[in-house]
Structure 1
């Protein structure tokens, strides 16, 4: 291992370069070194030390409302399924058949049983093998010995988190400092109204960093939200171990950006305040008094990221007669903003490959990026 770590082409050497970069105080902070975004070896280190050990958000619990409702995801090489069981609980399990190891379910949907598309072995909603065609002819086969391996699955503020790590502290414990900061919004009761999946040609960390900072809004989003962005009024407090955040207080350009008249939870300036939350490693949420939208990121190599993109409304706006119109207007805006962000982050990914590329100073509005770099450096330390 020592010989491997000494090579400049390994993830370990790049991790050391990142840690050295993070030793600067925030007043002299730099962006992360280019190889952090372009190295296959560093991504392998991230998969091993971050994705295989951390809690990862996979979606909203309200999206799995009925028994048999499911969603699928992947942690590194492990396909998983989260499903609402017959008793109404959420279960996370391996999404791989115990026969010839085919992936079982794709996307989202509802099933009465989990049926393998290859040989029709099928499983109950609790993961127990319920049927295996013609296997009774094999004397060594025992149906009762087969059950899909389970994963830890927890919910926080209406979000579903899963992990491969048997000893990771509970999600609520890791986010204990965040809960009181956003509790008045009542995010648990926000209702998801749309969900999409996309693949962009960039590194997952470039997209995460783009979400975390608002410094780019006036320029990159000059045709959409940029003119409404007052950088001088933005607050970027120091981040915490498991997350970073910043606030924007404004008169929203959309009615649902401010609190609904029926909202009695939020008072004063909080009725006009948007929270931007980056929950490490890949859960990104814009939370306003009237709506939310989110990104969930999954690397597909160093140069592609799979994005789960969704959003919805607060309870008061869901019950408003104009809810559908409000949501349609919001979705149009979000699609335009996403198109702008895609152009931006794909341009950065092309740029970090340049031989003359090097990290520049961060602005005071990029404090979340500084904290995120420290998180990645801590998790990839050896």
Structure 2
């Protein structure tokens, strides 16, 4: 079947059926360079993209840089205390005006010393007085829409995009007791990986493999058969996965119990399970009683990605007795589990390139994959319709959003 055809995109609907009838996405969605370019237009140019936490820009002048799908992004807090996001590409010769993180009064392009304010306005451009028609007041770093949700910073390249928060009400209600806005954040870490971003997103939401791949003392308290998948409404911008645990306050460490202070507002129901909250295409949360791990997925190519991994803990937890040692206990154990996942992700990507890779079928324990497909497929189909000069079908989740 031709990749860019009505038949291909119509066929994606079979990935959105009930889990017992659904097919996996076509392998080309994970490997093909042309599809990746299509996907950038379908998703990353239009959807809300998580770039970090407000903790990373606490004070006026604080900034950090990141990149998603080839776009360099600069996030800062201005003198009025507002969080701003903009392109970090100088409007002179395309040099990046900032790297890394820090605190600055403004941004000086290191190439030719054009100077931009914290709002992105051009305030100085040396030796441009002889340039015909040049007016620095008309030049600024392109700005992006910004929305803050539970302490996470989201940006959108599409000025017409609808707000994010109203479409996350179900997810927000489900995780409200973690009070993520008040949580304390540890310094995030960044890694580079040789697989498609969807491989990572799917693995993080795959309860089916847990009791097999991760069998042992570090994971046996959270068996796959206790997985459940709340239904996401059409138009929702996120979805959930729950996995019950064999005892309350379970945690990924050799004791199998929480070793850090638990989030103080959690209900008994919260404490009896792990919660996985997902806001595609960039944010995935793994939530236990004493720790939230967040993953910010940033594609860098059709078969490569970067990921920022951060940790949130209960207010005051960092001052608790033995915090450093207890945290190390969890992270060492989590590291062993993650290493198993990384090995699988690498081999899955290799398999997806094979001529023998097919559209497979799902177990009931893979309900989150169908939820993800129901987010993806209508957006792919809507972009294909736009490319054909047709309106997207009004019944799709994209339109309902």
Superposition TM-score, scaled by structure 2 size:
0.86
CA contact (8 A) 1:124 1:130 kept: yes
In the superposition, relative to structure 1, how do residues 330 and 130 fare at CA in structure 2: closer, same or farther (>3 Å)? Answer: farther
How far residue 153 of structure 1 moved from its aligned partner, in angstroms, is 0.5
* Mean Cα deviation higher: 357-366 or 326-335: 326-335
How far residue 37 of structure 1 moved from its aligned partner, in angstroms, is 1.2
1:3 — aligned with what?
none
- Structure 2: distance between partners of 1:302 and 1:13: 22
CA contact (8 A) 1:129 1:143 kept: yes
Alignment of 1:182-261 (within 5 A): 182-222=175-215, 225-240=218-233, 241-250=236-245, 251=247, 252-253=250-251, 254=253, 258=258
Alignment of 1:306-325 (within 5 A): 306-325=306-325
CA contact (8 A) 1:151 1:164 kept: yes
Residue deviations 1:3-61 (CA, integer Å, cap 9, x gap): xxxx8143765433322x22643222222221221222221221101110000001111
How far residue 236 of structure 1 moved from its aligned partner, in angstroms, is 1.9
CA contact (8 A) 1:11 1:43 kept: no
In the superposition, relative to structure 1, how do residues 313 and 201 fare at CA in structure 2: closer, same or farther (>3 Å)? Answer: same
1:109 to 102, 109, 118: 102
How far residue 328 of structure 1 moved from its aligned partner, in angstroms, is 2.2
CA contact (8 A) 2:150 2:180 kept: yes
* Mean Cα deviation higher: 239-248 or 220-229: 220-229
Structure 1 stretches lacking a partner, 5+ long: 1-6
1:4 — aligned with what?
none
SS at match of 1:74: strand
Alignment of 1:69-80 (within 5 A): 69-80=62-73
SS at match of 2:332: helix
How far residue 332 of structure 1 moved from its aligned partner, in angstroms, is 2.1
CA contact (8 A) 1:234 1:249 kept: yes
Residue deviations 1:331-367 (CA, integer Å, cap 9, x gap): 2233322222111111111111222221222111111
1:147 and 2:140 equivalent? Answer: yes
1:268 and 2:261 equivalent? Answer: no
* Mean Cα deviation higher: 360-369 or 250-259: 250-259
How many residues in Structure 1 have an aligned counterpart in Structure 2? 375
CA-based RMSD of the aligned residues comes to 2.3
* Mean Cα deviation higher: 60-69 or 153-162: 60-69
- Structure 1: distance between partners of 2:129 and 2:321: 57
How far residue 249 of structure 1 moved from its aligned partner, in angstroms, is 3.4
How far residue 373 of structure 1 moved from its aligned partner, in angstroms, is 1.3
Alignment of 1:1-382 (within 5 A): 8-10=2-4, 14-19=8-13, 21-22=14-15, 24-136=17-129, 138=131, 140-222=133-215, 225-240=218-233, 241-250=236-245, 251=247, 252-253=250-251, 254=253, 258=258, 264-381=264-381, 382=385
How far residue 262 of structure 1 moved from its aligned partner, in angstroms, is 7.6
- Structure 2: distance between partners of 1:69 and 1:257: 37
CA contact (8 A) 1:11 1:45 kept: no
How far residue 83 of structure 1 moved from its aligned partner, in angstroms, is 0.5
2:390 — aligned with what?
none
Superposition TM-score, scaled by structure 1 size:
0.90
In the superposition, relative to structure 1, how do residues 13 and 294 fare at CA in structure 2: closer, same or farther (>3 Å)? Answer: farther
- Structure 1: distance between partners of 2:259 and 2:155: 31
- Structure 1: distance between partners of 2:282 and 2:310: 14
Residue deviations 1:171-218 (CA, integer Å, cap 9, x gap): 211212211111111111112112111111111111110011211112
- Structure 2: distance between partners of 1:64 and 1:257: 33
- Structure 2: distance between partners of 1:76 and 1:227: 37
- Structure 2: distance between partners of 1:77 and 1:304: 12
* Mean Cα deviation higher: 182-191 or 330-339: 330-339
CA contact (8 A) 2:261 2:290 kept: no
